Amino acid sequence: MSVSSVEIHRHRPETPWSYADLARRQEAVAEEVRGGAPGRLIFSEVAPVVTLGFRKTEEDLLFAREGYAARGIALLEVTRGGRATYHGPGQWVVFPVESLERLTGDRKGVRKAVEGLLGAIRAAVGTRFSGAEIREGKEAGVWTQSGIGGAKVAALGIRIRDGVIQHGVSVNIFPTSESFAGIRPCGLDAPVAYLAPEAAPAERERAMLDWRERIERELLARFPNFA
């Protein structure tokens, strides 16, 4: 695996990493890709934030805006599709920043890219939720079971600009006190799920590492240009 093709960034007190930092990094990579450079598969665990996509609505925010700051949760408008969602510790945010043509063999291969991305996540989480399914439309992401019900374990939100895919998916590993506080995730009144919901504090780091490796393995199998 090429060291330069996969990046890992994690928020720590001594090395802060916010969603704004991630946004700047992906923009820099996207600009390099437009100039002909290879893309990057970026994994991030960011500081607590509620991001608001192009379809944002105040109905998704259950607190007054100052209430998020009081809880240490940032609010940030971002350049992806979709509505409000949460990112923070205990979750991997995965951005496959690359040209659609290199990623899928098709300059207009948006659907191929989405299918590959969600297919990889479903395969990875299937070891925990055997009935996991991909959903589209307003429920876009990976859910714990098919049919009515279930809970969303991974959310999708992308943007295509000048033939380059940006943003991606977020995968919930374990909850914290800030996780999804005060929002209707993606405008849905539906539960969210975690891959290691009962992990003790001492086990959480191993859970993050193990699940990241599984997700990366499935993504590289579908998008070998990152390997």
Instruction: Say what the pLDDT of residue 1 is.
Output: 38
Q: Which residue has the tokens 């994994």?
A: 43
The full 3-state SS of 120-174, as one line of letters, equals: HHHHHHCCCCCCCEEECHHHCEEECCCCCCCCEEEEEEEEEECCEEEEEEEEECC
For residue 68, the domain's CATH number is: 3.30.930.10
Please provide residue 205's backbone torsions phi and psi, each rounded to the nearest 5 degrees: -65, -45
Residue 28 CB neighbours (<10 A): 12
Instruction: Say what the pLDDT of residue 33 is.
Output: 98
Tens of each residue's pLDDT in the chain, 227 residues: 344 599 999 999 999 999 999 999 999 999 999 999 999 999 999 999 999 998 878 889 999 999 999 999 999 999 998 899 999 999 999 999 999 999 999 999 999 999 999 999 999 999 999 999 999 998 999 999 987 789 999 999 999 999 999 999 999 999 999 999 999 998 888 899 999 999 999 999 999 999 999 999 999 999 999 98
Residue 115 lies in a domain: yes
Active site residues: 186
Nearest alpha carbon to residue 224 among 118, 130, 90, 98: 98
Residue 58 lies in a domain: yes
Residue 1 lies in a domain: no
Per-residue pLDDT tens over the stretch 180-218? 999 999 888 889 999 999 999 999 999 999 999 999 999
Nearest alpha carbon to residue 128 among 176, 192, 196: 196
Q: Which domain holds residue 23?
A: 6-226
Number of domains in the chain: 1
| 201-222 vs 110-125: helix crossing angle, rounded to 10 | 140
Nearest alpha carbon to residue 38 among 29, 46, 47: 29
Residue 105 lies in a domain: yes
Instruction: Say what the pLDDT of residue 183 is.
Output: 95
